[in-house]
Structure 1
Amino acid sequence: MTITPEAPTLNAPVDVRFTKAGTPLAVRYDGRIWAVTEEPVHWFTRDSWWETRHNVPVGVGNVVDIEHWRVQVRLGASTSAPRTFELRRDPLSERWLLESLTDN
Structure 2
Amino acid sequence: MGMFSESVDVLCSPEGQPVSLTWGGRSYDVCAEPMRWYERRQWWAEDSRAPLGSGPGIVDHEIWRVQVLPAPDGAAGSNATEEPLTLDLSRHIRSGRWRLLRIHDALRPRTA
TM-score between both structures, scaled by the size of structure 1: 0.80
Equivalent position of 2:110 in the other structure: none
Task: Between 87-96 and 21-30, report the one with greater CA deviation.
Answer: 87-96
Q: Which runs of 5+ in 2 are unaligned?
A: 73-78, 107-112
CA distance in 1, matches of 2:19, 2:34: 9
Cα gap change, 1:81 to 1:41, in 2 (>3 Å): same
Q: 3-state SS of the aligned residue for 2:4?
A: coil
Cα gap change, 1:11 to 1:38, in 2 (>3 Å): same
Equivalent position of 1:102 in the other structure: 104
Larger radius of gyration: 2
Equivalent position of 1:38 in the other structure: 32
Equivalent position of 1:67 in the other structure: 62
CA distance in 2, matches of 1:65, 1:35: 26
Deviation at 1:57, TM superposition (A): 3.5
Structure 1: which amino acid aligns with 2:12?
F
1:50 aligned to 2:52? no
Structure 1: which amino acid aligns with 2:9?
D
Q: Which structure 1 residue ranges, 4+ long, deviate > 6 Å from structure 2?
A: none
Q: 3-state SS of the aligned residue for 2:10?
A: strand
CA RMSD of the aligned region, Å? 1.9
Q: 3-state SS of the aligned residue for 1:11?
A: strand
* Paired residues, number: 98
CA distance in 2, matches of 1:103, 1:24: 21
Structure 2: which amino acid aligns with 1:101?
I
Equivalent position of 2:17 in the other structure: 23
Equivalent position of 1:6 in the other structure: none
CA distance in 2, matches of 1:60, 1:40: 27
